[in-house]
Amino acid sequence: MSTSRRDFLATSAAAVAAAALPTDAQASRLEGAPALIGLGESGLRARPCVVASANGLRGVEVAYNQISAGADTLDAIIAGVNIQELDPEDTSVGLGGLPNRDGVVQLDASCMHGPTKRAGAVGCLEDIATPSLVAKAVMDYTDHVMLVGQDARRFAIEMGFQTQNLLTEKTRQEWLRWRARLNPNDSFLDYDGNVDIKFTTGTINMNAVNAAGDLSSVTTTSGMAWKVPGRLGDSPIVGAGQYCDNTVGAAGSTGRGEANIKTCASYQIVEFMRGGLAPRDAALRTLERVVAMTERRLLDDRGRPKFDLQFYVVHKDGRYAGASLYEGAGFAVCDERGPRVEHCAFLYRRTERPR
């Protein structure tokens, strides 16, 4: 993984260009097959697989194709998430992400590389559209794991990343609508009549395993819409927003980051798999821990969380799963059968009492 700064920037630019190629969604299926194929250098038979949040449908195909061509798993999945980071229509990630309370877009990301046991992260990064690549640069070129705020921005510029205004006209208008409705007695007029205000907690997480059983994970986000400036969710926190152990598997999340942080959920999923649970069961068991650790103010009158949280999991042998607190969520996966969206397992139906 050791590369020169020049090679890093050249490789990053090529990965972003390749990741920008779109693809059509394909049919979904309910369960991931446990079959093992391929023979890695270690002698482990593993089925190459990439899983992600549902907004990563284009990205999982890009990442899978790169892995199949021999690319490193982390390079491949970062190329996959770059698609969303550079897509202004995805208002929860990168360029065009919904801003904080002050109208400033602040981005977070973290990554882990299973074979080298290394990790990198950035928090509250401004003016750089691809925080996943900056997180990887922290991993590759420093003795640290996380850089934050203006110093993360300065590091990125020193590494050759270009700055740009991440607030698009679309997201600026959304921020103006939100601000106008904060207080009916303030000096701002109502904006555009009856318009729904977005309160996103969206993110993109992506995890992969290759035929040798080598794993990587990455999570990137613009965080909670209208957040208090300086807020960090789970995405840049290793063990929460994502976690990878090359001897076991990888996991990551989207949804309410504060709930995820308190349970170190991605780490917990991997540890449950280390203890023998399948990816689906490990994710559901961890969601139960999330509910147990939820403050009363965030539970409804039936004891169910008022928020949602999703996990995306891949085992070292190629088994995978997605899981959510509530039914209806999907996740993206790509393996030898191509890219598709599958249904997440879940704890609660929308209309039933918790079990």
CATH of the domain at 66: 3.60.20.30
> Phi, psi at residue 249, to the nearest 5°?
175, -170
CB 249 within 8 A of CB 242: no
- 303-315 residues labelled b (16+ CB within 10 A) or e (exposed): ebbebbbbbbbbb
Mean pLDDT of the 318-323 span: 98
CB 207 within 8 A of CB 253: no
User: Quick check: is 243 in a domain?
Assistant: yes
User: Quick check: is 355 in a domain?
Assistant: no
The catalytically annotated residue of 203, 219, 263, 286 is 203
Q: Is the pLDDT of residue 40 over 70?
A: no
What is the tally of structural domains in the chain? Answer: 1
Q: Is 203 a catalytic residue?
A: yes
User: Quick check: is 6 in a domain?
Assistant: no
User: Quick check: is 224 in a domain?
Assistant: yes
Percent of the chain at pLDDT exceeding 90: 77
Kindly indicate the confidence band of residue 236, based on its pLDDT and cuts at 50, 70 and 90.
very high
CB 298 within 8 A of CB 291: no
User: Quick check: is 203 in a domain?
Assistant: yes
pTM of the entire predicted model: 0.85
Least confident of 19-33, 119-133, 322-336: 19-33
Q: Report the candidate in 231, 244, 226 with the shortest Cα–Cα distance to residue 110.
A: 244
pLDDT in tens, 127-180: 999 999 999 999 999 999 999 999 999 999 999 999 999 999 999 988 988 888
Structural domain harbouring 302: 38-348
User: Quick check: is 19 in a domain?
Assistant: no
User: Quick check: is 84 in a domain?
Assistant: yes
pLDDT in tens, 82-117: 999 999 999 999 999 999 999 999 999 999 999 999
User: Quick check: is 193 in a domain?
Assistant: yes
Q: Report the candidate in 155, 94, 144, 152 with the shortest Cα–Cα distance to residue 119.
A: 144
Averaged pLDDT score across all residues of the chain? 87
